[in-house]
A and B are shown apart, each in its own frame.
Chain A
Amino acid sequence: MTSDLMQFALYCAVLVAVAVPLGAYMAKIYAGVPGVLVAIERPIFRLAGIDPHKEQTWQAYALAMLAFNAVGFALLFAILKFQDLLPFNPQHLPGLSAHLAFNTAISFVTNTNWQSYGGETTMSYLSQMVGLTTQNFVSAATGMAVAAGVARGLAARQKKTIGNFWADMTRSTLYILLPAAIVLTLVLVWQGVPQTLSPNAVATTLEGTQQTIAVGPVASQIAIKQLGTNGGGFFNVNSAHPFENPTAISNFLEMLSILVISAAFCFTFGRMVGDKRQGRALFAAMGVLFVLGFAGLYASEIATNPLHAPYVAAGSGNMEGKEVRFGIGNSALWIEATTAASNGSVNAMIDSFNPLGGMIAMVNIELGEVVFGGVGVGLTGMLLLVIVTVFLAGLMVGRTPEYLGKKIEAREIKLAALTLLIMPIGVLALSALAIVTGNAHGSVQDAGPHGLTELLYAYSSATGNNGSAFAGFSANVDWHNAWLGVAMLFARFGYIVPILAIAGSLGAKKTAPASSGTFPTHGPLFVTLLVVTILIVGALTFLPVLALGPIAEQVSIAAGQSF
């Protein structure tokens, strides 16, 4: 217990210590690259016909982003569908079905990295590297570019443009993601993560049987999957696999990588809008929700399942689906980080978490992935809730709401309120659709309330662009591959396009100087209001269905009922 809390404190301290300077560095990159780097990017921009100094309106910025993602989707779909005809396929795996290729291509382009398949039994090395690793980089860079554009819009004074998407996306990849991924890859290999193009190894065990051991170019993919809040694993069990995450050191560094860029964006934002306190306030609100979530998850998992209590030594916790080297503390912390951050990689099987622990993971997603969230889009998702919060605060005191000196008016509120509908539609409406059309029952593994939780988690994960799963749920059927794909697509761009529109609209407005009547958005009062707004919006929407799933299950096992 003490050691678990010390590890948590160490994690938080290192996260802040790295995120603050990284945030400052990222703000410099988005302000325009220093001279030495121009030589690297100039030939690429020339070939692509891009003038990186030419700023775009929010519409052009959004269209560029959509065009880039559309081309990325088409290429990835083709690679997956025809991997059997392409090289680097030493296990001779077949091409993916159209539904699975559609689902997977959307999943990686939208930075969700939901996996309907088991990596080592489905994907050729070429698909993993050329297809998936590429999208791990550029889908993350897309989110980062969006955040940079939005921050510029909020900082602008009566200006119609928010930057150049191509420049922001390229620089996010070249100067932030790629150098970090190279360093992390080598550290992970040092810890034991394989990086090889050889086919699977075959061993003769001590008892004389054959063991086929899947290997591959693992480390390079794991590094970027964590840094880019992607989360799609090389192996079926993701980072619970000893080859993705062999030691407690690799575990610590991977957990750090999950949150660090998203956390740094708070500080980048503060610098870009010229008021560091604004960034700190957002970080504080995210931090409060993060600590609350960890506390709940840890308390849930350190407790013994009441059904198993007669057989298990007291105090050893719920170890089903967890690895000995991580234990309870590091499994709970990872799951908190990965569901908060829209990463979706796992080092323990959430399906086997105690009911309330699994519920907290799901609620983290359902809050809209704003507790650090995905790289870039976590920040912009939080800004949508900031707009809702200043609107509510404005209503309470009867003043026109303002944020960073910009008047928040009907257009902005309508756009922000629209995004609040995305999670309920994706989670509740699509789950209901699966149930009434008879497509839920065949895919859930467990009977009783847990079955409902499995279904809800799948649609929450897709809509939140998270990608983690209650893995007992069989998602690899045409219905779910199609609808989960639709949910991922709809949610990703359903958040991004409105926030870009808001940024464009605010950028064109006058910036009013702060007066005595201005509600400050950097103090503890605002942070509290923001946290409460997030929790109330989430709770009102999802509490009823949570009562039918995880809460009912927790009450059942406490009463000795199994299913």
Chain B
Amino acid sequence: MLTHIRPAIVLVGFFTLLTGVAYPLAMTAMAQAVFPAAAAGSLVEKSGTVVGSSLVGQQFTSDRYFHGRPSAVNYDASTSSGSNLAPSSSTLLEQVRARAAAYGGRNVPADLVTASGSGLDPDLSPEGAMMQVARVAAVRGVPEAKVGMLVQQHVQGPDLGILGEPRVNVLALNMALDEMKP
């Protein structure tokens, strides 16, 4: 055993320096040189102030905005979490029923009545966004067709035509909405 102590200590030390210090620091330097905006968290600015990250969802409660998905952490991006409620949970059942009630109670797209995995889902399904067009249009006094068109313009994906699901980024959509009719 003793003959193994020296190589063990030297190699743990060497790999700590190589993979624990040099690797992340070199990657940080390279990432910031090549993709500075992404490396910093894809932050979005509006007239000089940071309003969020294009990749991270944020809380919308006003009827003037499209609402993102339910979140177990109310979109607190310093502590991510899902609800982790069981499929047999009566708490979850009650939540689903109550959330569905806001959209007519039946036949609601699943993403509008369920909490996301991260609590920070930045997207809605196109169906989930379309469900909210009438409300947003009425509050803003804009024709529904115009708001619906804006949603359609913001549908992205599948990536490379095959990967993932079609989706609407809620922050981008709401910023476009503000621009169209403040």
User: A residues touching B (Cβ–Cβ < 8 Å)?
Assistant: 3, 6-7, 10, 44, 47-50, 63-64, 67-68, 70-72, 75, 118, 120-121, 129-131, 133-134, 136-138, 166, 169-170, 173, 178, 181-182, 185-186, 189-198, 200-207, 209, 211-215, 217, 219-221, 224, 235-237, 240-243, 246-249, 251-252, 304-305, 307-308, 310-314, 316-327, 330, 346-349, 351-355, 445-450, 470-472, 553, 556-557, 561-563
Contacts and interface: CB of A to CB of B under 8 A. Distances in A.
Nearest to B2: A67
Given A212-B76, A311-B108, A352-B87, A49 B35 contact: no
B80 A235 contact: yes
Nearest to B12: A71
9 contacts: A130-B20, A185-B27, A211-B77, A217-B24, A236-B79, A243-B55, A249-B160, A317-B110, A318-B87
A6 B100 CA distance: 32
B78 A221 contact: no
B143 interface: no
Nearest to B161: A3
Nearest to B100: A311
Most chain B Cβ neighbours within 10 Å, of A44, A240, A317, A353: A240
Closest 10 CB pairs of A and B: A248-B164, A240-B117, A472-B84, A134-B20, A316-B110, A450-B86, A311-B100, A48-B10, A327-B165, A67-B4
A311 B105 CA distance: 6
B24 A220 contact: yes
Contacts of B124: 324
Contact of A192 (B42, B51, B117): B42
Contacts of A308: 93, 96, 113
Given A219-B27, A237-B118, A243 B41 contact: yes
A321 B92 CA distance: 11
Interface in B66-96: 69, 75-90, 92-93, 96
A200 B78 contact: yes
A138 B19 contact: yes
A471 B34 CA distance: 36
A246 B38 CA distance: 11
A247 B24 contact: no
B39 A196 contact: yes
Contact of B12 (A68, A207, A211): A68
Contacts of B92: 320, 352
B127 interface: yes
Nearest to B175: A206
B97 to A, nearest CB: 6
Interface string B125-151: 101100000000000000000000000
B154 to A, nearest CB: 13
A443 B24 CA distance: 35
Given A308-B113, A323-B121, A563 B88 contact: yes
Interface of B: 1, 4-12, 14-16, 18-21, 23-24, 27-28, 30-32, 34-35, 38-43, 49-62, 65, 69, 75-90, 92-93, 96-97, 100, 105-111, 113-125, 127-128, 157-160, 162-165, 167, 171, 174-175, 178
Contacts of B159: 247-249
Contacts of B109: 312-313, 316
Contacts, number: 390
A327 B165 CA distance: 6
Given A237-B117, A322-B117, A355-B87, A194 B24 contact: no
Contacts of A189: 27, 31, 34-35, 38-39
Contact of B41 (A129, A196, A240, A319): A196
A197 B84 CA distance: 30
Contacts of A217: 24, 27-28
A50 B11 CA distance: 10
B87 to A, nearest CB: 5
A15 to B, nearest CB: 15
Nearest to B37: A192
Given A236-B81, A320-B87, A325-B165, A71 B41 contact: no
Given A349-B84, A351-B85, A472-B84, A313 B108 contact: yes
Given A138-B19, A324-B165, A325-B157, 9 more contacts: A71-B9, A195-B28, A200-B78, A214-B78, A237-B118, A312-B113, A446-B88, A448-B88, A450-B88
B87 A305 contact: yes
A217 B165 CA distance: 28
B88 A307 contact: yes
B11 A68 contact: yes
Contacts of B55: 192, 242-243, 246
A307 B87 contact: yes
Contacts of B51: 203-206
A446 B88 CA distance: 9
B62 A207 contact: yes
Given A320-B115, A321-B116, A3 B162 contact: yes
Contacts of A348: 117
Which of B52, B81, B163 has the most A CB atoms < 10 Å from its CB? B163
B121 A242 contact: yes
B1 A67 contact: yes
Contact of B117 (A202, A311, A321): A321
A106 B6 CA distance: 22
Nearest to B5: A67
A56 B21 CA distance: 31
